[in-house]
Amino acid sequence: MPKMLLYILLIGLIALLIPPALIATERSTVKKKPRVHLVQDMDNQHRYKAQQANEFFEDGRAMRPPVEGTVARNKLNDDAHFIKGLVGDEWATTFPGQIDVTVDLIHRGQNRFNIYCLPCHGEAGFGDGIIHQRAFKLVTAGVNGTTWVQPKSLHEKAIREQPIGQTFNTITNGVRTMAGYGDQVPVGDRWAIVAYVKALQRSQFAQDSDLPAGTNRSELQFEKLPEQETPDETTDDATNPQDEAEQS
Amino acid sequence: MGRYHYVFPRWTNLLLPGAIFMAMVAPLYVVYVVAYGFSPMTTDVGYAPDQVIEYSHKLHAGELGIDCRYCHNTVEYSAKASIPPTQTCMNCHTQIHKDSPKLEALRQSYEKGTPVTWTRVHDLPGYAYFNHSAHVNRGVSCVSCHGRVDRMDVVQQMQPLSMGWCLDCHRNPTENLRDPSEVTNLGWSFKGTEQELVDYHDFWQDHNNINPSQDCSTCHR
């Protein structure tokens, strides 16, 4: 075989290795550039998907917000008790008729609380969530103009004693530096969170009267908590132990 | 040379078997390059575009442990998990890192009421209709399709999101099922023996009556 032909053949064979090598590289790297689909079929159609951009509108959204002053079908809700926590001009002190207060509702509330409230208020509601801890560090270090007010402990007297309609309103519209969660959490779930917050507050502020009739309190404590100091420490965790002492 | 000048040299005897061999191998090569090269494992997996805001899931979902649903709050009710509105970011960032230059685009959006122009990472073809709520509420975890987002500084596509890949699970969903209350716990793993794990998967399949459809119209309509 002439040497020339042999070289051409060899170069050709080596060239055949290039595409698999390129493909293998492509597979193992992180890609910043848009995906290339050579065969488009109907992958990208002439319609807008949810949250896609559309330059036709001034704000660039393809999805249109409802026109001001309009209500979507079946979305009219003028029940102030249910959607605002108001009865007349007063905060509601009872749950609205649409809400059945059951153990399931409280469990649902716990689940939602742990998603939306726990980051700031903490799992037990003392205002010591992980966001608070991080923000506090950032304020101390003076990073990027961070400001921070510690989230309220849900066991403070003022919060413990507020009407549930007001708690519902705080969740919906926010208060002080807390943002409102009315758009993020559906109305039924907000009432469920209210129910759970009530349960949480009671758990940290149990009364003798909460015990089943005929229970001897000192015996109960002795059985459950043999070390005498433990009960004192738990009350110290509450933000206003003196308030609670006065109450009991 | 002389009179033998026009006689084919001996090596030309290899041309015919060589050509037959090439004719057999060449189609295999082409099929291999096309199948391997055009597969979504090559074209789509590993897609991690830069975003206008260097948002880190690793920090927010991983280190701070914020539940996926804090931001993607429609995932349980709707087909779309939804990119959160600017307001959701501003729940915290009106205070935390409020002067950070990295959040400039966010502040612009908040002041002008225009959306942040995020680049979509996971994009199905226009003829495929995926419903997040149908999966999440039945115990298919986010991690099954999106990977460990809580460990990603930049979100990256981890799975091919191809029809064959969808069908793999629709034909045999058992191993991707878990207690629906653990779906957003990306680091969750089953603790117990292998047999208990099998029973666990079977329990949730029975409990939620999971029998995924493979009809065309389930996803294409």
Q: Which residues of B touch A20 (CB under 8 A)?
A: 32-33, 36
User: Which H/E stretch holds residue B135?
Assistant: helix B132-136
**Residues A29-65 pLDDT 10s:** 898 888 888 778 888 888 898 899 988 988 888 998 8
- Is residue A111 pLDDT above 60, yes or no? yes
Pick from A46, A126, B95: nearest CA to A118: A126
Q: Do B33 and A20 touch (CB under 8 A)?
A: yes
Q: How far apart are CA B41 and CA B161, in angstroms?
A: 9
User: Which H/E stretch holds residue A121?
Assistant: helix A118-121
Q: Which residues of B touch A19 (CB under 8 A)?
A: 33, 37
CB B76 within 8 A of CB B184: no
Could you tell me the CA-to-CA distances from B32 to A13, B35, B52, B125 in Å, in that order? 16, 5, 38, 24
Q: How far apart are CA A231 and CA A228, in angstroms?
A: 7
**Closest CB from A16, A35, A183 relative to B43:** A35
Contacts 24+ apart (CB under 8 A), B28-32: B29/A16, B32/A20
Structure tokens belonging to residue B83: 């990119």
Q: Which residues of B touch A183 (CB under 8 A)?
A: 85, 87
**Residues A84-95 pLDDT 10s:** 888 888 888 888
Structure tokens belonging to residue B143: 């991690």
Q: Do A184 and B80 touch (CB under 8 A)?
A: no
**Closest CB from B42, B64, B154 relative to A23:** B42
Name residue, tokens 């059945």: A100
Name the residue in chain B with its Cα closest to that of A47: B126
Structure tokens belonging to residue B44: 């789509």
Q: How far apart are CA B221 and CA B131, in angstroms?
A: 13
pLDDT band at A119 (very low <50, low <70, confident <90, very high): very high
**Closest CB from B11, B49, B96 relative to A138:** B96
* Helix (H/G/I), strand (E/B), else coil: A82: helix
Pick from A197, A161, A168: nearest CA to A182: A168
Which ipTM was obtained for this model? Answer: 0.82
Pick from B65, B89, B52: nearest CA to B184: B65
Q: How far does the CA of residue B74 sit from the closest CA of chain A (Å)?
A: 8
Looking at residue A247, its pLDDT comes to 42
Q: What is the mean pLDDT of each run of 10 residues along chain B (221 residues)?
A: 71 89 92 89 89 92 92 92 92 88 90 90 91 93 93 92 92 90 89 88 89 91 83
Q: How far does the CA of residue B61 sit from the closest CA of chain A (Å)?
A: 11
Structure tokens belonging to residue B217: 């119209």
Query: For an interface test with B, which of A10, A23, A38, A178 has the most B Cβ atoms less than 10 Å from its Cβ?
Result: A23
Structure tokens belonging to residue A223: 């059985």
**Residues B62-104 pLDDT 10s:** 999 999 999 999 999 999 998 999 999 999 998 889 888 899 9
Looking at residue A210, its pLDDT comes to 76
Q: How far apart are CA A200 and CA A198, in angstroms?
A: 5
**Residues A181-239 pLDDT 10s:** 988 999 889 999 999 999 998 888 877 777 777 766 666 665 544 444 444 444 444 44
Q: How far apart are CA A23 and CA A37, in angstroms?
A: 14
Looking at residue B131, its pLDDT comes to 93
- Mean of the per-residue pLDDT values of chain A: 82
Could you tell me the CA-to-CA distances from B75 to B68, B72, B142, B143 in Å, in that order? 9, 6, 10, 14
Query: For an interface test with B, which of A111, A112, A184 has the most B Cβ atoms less than 10 Å from its Cβ?
Result: A184
Give the ranges where A142-214 is alpha helix by DSSP (H).
157-160, 164-173, 187-203
**Closest CB from A1, A135, A186 relative to B11:** A1
Looking at residue B38, its pLDDT comes to 87
Percent of chain B beyond pLDDT 90?
56
Which stretches does DSSP call E strand in chain A? 86-87, 90-91
CB B202 within 8 A of CB B210: no
Q: Does A97 touch chain B (CB under 8 A)?
A: no
Looking at residue A226, its pLDDT comes to 47
Q: Do A138 and B100 touch (CB under 8 A)?
A: no
Q: Does A187 touch chain B (CB under 8 A)?
A: no
List A residues 30-49 in contact with B (Cβ-Cβ < 8 A). 30-39, 41-45, 47, 49
Q: Give the burial class of B83: count Cβ atoms within 10 A of its Cβ; 0-12 exposed, 13-18 middle, 19 or more buried.
A: middle
The domain spans of chain B are 2-40
CB B47 within 8 A of CB B157: yes
Q: Do A36 and B181 touch (CB under 8 A)?
A: no
Full set of structural domains in chain A with CATH: 90-203 (1.10.760.10), 216-247 (no CATH)
Phi, psi of B195 (to 5 degrees): -65, -40
Q: How far apart are CA A173 and CA A84, in angstroms?
A: 9
Q: Do B67 and A115 touch (CB under 8 A)?
A: yes
Q: Do B64 and A144 touch (CB under 8 A)?
A: no
Q: Does A202 touch chain B (CB under 8 A)?
A: no
